[in-house]
Structure 1
């Protein structure tokens, strides 16, 4: 006789599901019929063991539960789903369902010894055109690059006059293991990811706004207008990378342009045009589309933008993604190198969400639960092997 949904749920918490039962459980999770039952089981589990959770954990679990339960879709057999378990001997489990791919997640906070490799933090270096370099403070959320140079809360930047930024280009560099938030004088907001460099080119008010990007950044571009021939027109916003130029009129989008990787431009809302370097044709990108540029070729594909912008909100999110791409992101954030025992491992597909605020050991353990790969860490190198 096949176990019921509640029995399968409890067996999952106790890590006693057989492979056949796991497949049944995942099929049930992919069905809309189980949404309410699952929510009740999750709420019961959290409330029963509430003393073992910090308040902020419960709040985060509840928010994630609400988000993912609205997006359950059928699984794809070629994708490995990351399932991370809390053992009840250490801490009580809080179960959450991952919407994309109906992957099951059990969030863990083991009290056992953790990896010494900690996640990145908010660090960046600002360089002015006169060569002056300033290490930006981790204590402030963001920096404003405009008529005045300051932190977004109004605090002064040590060693810099507020008016020093006027009429000079500025470069913000975020190292591996860092991230930083930038606000331009026009109100545009930029999140700069690890191992990235952004050059802000100061221009006259009636000229297009221009930036050069190496690495990855998420943009929320503010509208800016000028009057030309008695007509009010929007000023273009241009982002140059080695492979392309993105033309923006006011929108939200993400660009990933790391050396050795394809350049990915993901549009969340609005409209952008992309010119490949050395080419005239303008490629229009619509919301929920991604442009992938490799060499002198471009491909436009439909995507869920969440998977490509979640890093700015504190998670890694993957949908049917190559292990190599996942570990490239993890490597930059944790400042580690990756070595593959077998190059075929690079092409394994994974689906899931991982927090960016946990240590490296936590993240690698989650990936290992797929049963496909095993990791060892020596110094600052992660070795990837097949199980």
Structure 2
């Protein structure tokens, strides 16, 4: 239960700030709010309770660190971690693993190899496992391909890329035959695309989107999430003479007029999750139609053909597109599936008993996986682990 006297909007801004995902407008609001002495006290208590109490309270200069933290907000400097406000969960150690270190003051950057009996073994340590990056394969209607990646650019008629995003311009000719492109993001990658109608799509690792190079005027705008995970910020139908937008995949269709939502439909997984951030969508599967409201998620179970709608914390579902992974009530196994895609590794559990240990917290996507694994080991969640090139064996 939240005992701090702050509005949900302010708490959300604090969370975004601590994860380095706050906008300039967010920071301006936070600066104004924190000017009041009472709010300053609330902020310090919030941080102290949800972050420092588990770790940095062991340090003699905790108050000094909190003062420095407060000072940096006024300087608009950034931090690296946010730990969701959870104080009653059983697996506190697991919470610490991911979200403990909110700043350089609370984080010991060095990673040490254990010298205990159960030693961590890293084979080919010089080849550390790096986090994913912006990269994708663009496939044209004739089958030809272009590799897109951070640091490179691509330019052609009506389409260009800066290595992080690909942008399609609206065709000047409305009579052109519809041609489809594919954007495929491999394991260890991410990419975004702006479609010709202005719709923005973020693609997570191991995902593929099929879409028209240009939409036909007056006709339904359709794209297909072939597999994987994508966040859609759809250009409103009011900007396109009322024409609706549909996202298809092999098991369902999502119809929207203009909204923000996330679809998770990975190959080999038996559930498809559709999460609405704002606006309204109708999900059709078989002969059933389900309408979602903001902060609702539809879980389509492909094995049992069941459809369950529940209210969720939207942040946990879409944080991946803003540079963090948010885990709430996720098992170690589920977490490792997510990480295996981003780091392009294979994870093997030798100790199956720990697969269901639950986690709550947030992980930055730009850190090396050894940092994560070592933290888990230090808190006793796992005994040790081994890394062989692109394979991780958890003991």
TM-score (norm 1): 0.70
Partner SS state of residue 124, structure 1: strand
Structure 1 segments of 4+ aligned residues over 4 angstroms from their partners? 36-43, 46-49, 111-115, 162-166
Asked whether the equivalents of residues 281 and 291 of structure 2 are also in contact (C-alpha less than 8 Å), the reply is: yes
- Provide the residue aligned with 2:4 in structure 1: none
Aligned to 1:77, which of 90, 111, 115? 90
Residue 222 of structure 2 is aligned to residue 219 of structure 1 = no
Residue-by-residue CA offset, 1:95-133 (whole Å, 9 max, x unaligned): 539xxxxxxx94342276887110011011101101121
- Provide the residue aligned with 2:110 in structure 1: 110
Cα gap change, 1:43 to 1:379, in 2 (>3 Å): same
Residue 277 of structure 2 is aligned to residue 268 of structure 1 = yes
Displacement after TM superposition at 1:362 (Å): 1.0
Partner SS state of residue 216, structure 1: strand
Structure 1 unmatched runs, 5+: 1-30, 86-93, 98-104
The count of residues paired between Structure 1 and Structure 2 equals 317
Higher mean C-alpha deviation, range 350-359 or range 165-174: 165-174
Aligned to 1:135, which of 125, 147, 170? 147
Residue-by-residue CA offset, 1:130-181 (whole Å, 9 max, x unaligned): 112111141269x899x8111369x999xxxx99998310100011111011
Aligned to 1:347, which of 356, 360, 364? 356
Cα gap change, 1:133 to 1:115, in 2 (>3 Å): closer
Residue 385 of structure 2 is aligned to residue 365 of structure 1 = no
Aligned to 2:319, which of 300, 310, 319? 310
- Provide the residue aligned with 1:10 in structure 2: none
For 2:259 and 2:108, the matched residues in 1 are separated by 37
Cα gap change, 1:322 to 1:187, in 2 (>3 Å): same
Residue 256 of structure 2 is aligned to residue 248 of structure 1 = yes
For 1:144 and 1:243, the matched residues in 2 are separated by 35
**RMSD between aligned alpha carbons?**
4.0
Residue-by-residue CA offset, 1:337-362 (whole Å, 9 max, x unaligned): 11122444332211111111011101
For 1:84 and 1:348, the matched residues in 2 are separated by 12
TM-score (norm 2): 0.69
1:1-387 aligned within 5 A: 34-35=45-46, 44-45=64-65, 59-61=77-79, 72-77=85-90, 81-84=94-97, 96=102, 106-110=106-110, 116-139=128-151, 148-151=158-161, 167-201=178-212, 202-213=214-225, 214-225=227-238, 234-261=242-269, 262-276=271-285, 279-295=286-302, 296-373=305-382, 374-385=384-395
Q: Which has the higher contact order (CA 8 A, sep 6+)?
A: 2
Partner SS state of residue 182, structure 1: strand
For 2:262 and 2:166, the matched residues in 1 are separated by 29
Asked whether the equivalents of residues 136 and 190 of structure 2 are also in contact (C-alpha less than 8 Å), the reply is: yes
Asked whether the equivalents of residues 166 and 194 of structure 2 are also in contact (C-alpha less than 8 Å), the reply is: no
Displacement after TM superposition at 1:43 (Å): 7.0
Cα gap change, 1:115 to 1:354, in 2 (>3 Å): farther
Displacement after TM superposition at 1:365 (Å): 2.2
For 1:116 and 1:37, the matched residues in 2 are separated by 34
For 1:189 and 1:354, the matched residues in 2 are separated by 25
Residue-by-residue CA offset, 1:1-55 (whole Å, 9 max, x unaligned): xxxxxxxxxxxxxxxxxxxxxxxxxxxxxx9994376699767227779xxx9x9
Asked whether the equivalents of residues 256 and 281 of structure 2 are also in contact (C-alpha less than 8 Å), the reply is: yes
For 1:48 and 1:306, the matched residues in 2 are separated by 27
Higher mean C-alpha deviation, range 351-360 or range 364-373: 364-373
Structure 2 unmatched runs, 5+: 1-41, 53-60, 113-124
For 1:194 and 1:36, the matched residues in 2 are separated by 32
Asked whether the equivalents of residues 166 and 193 of structure 2 are also in contact (C-alpha less than 8 Å), the reply is: no
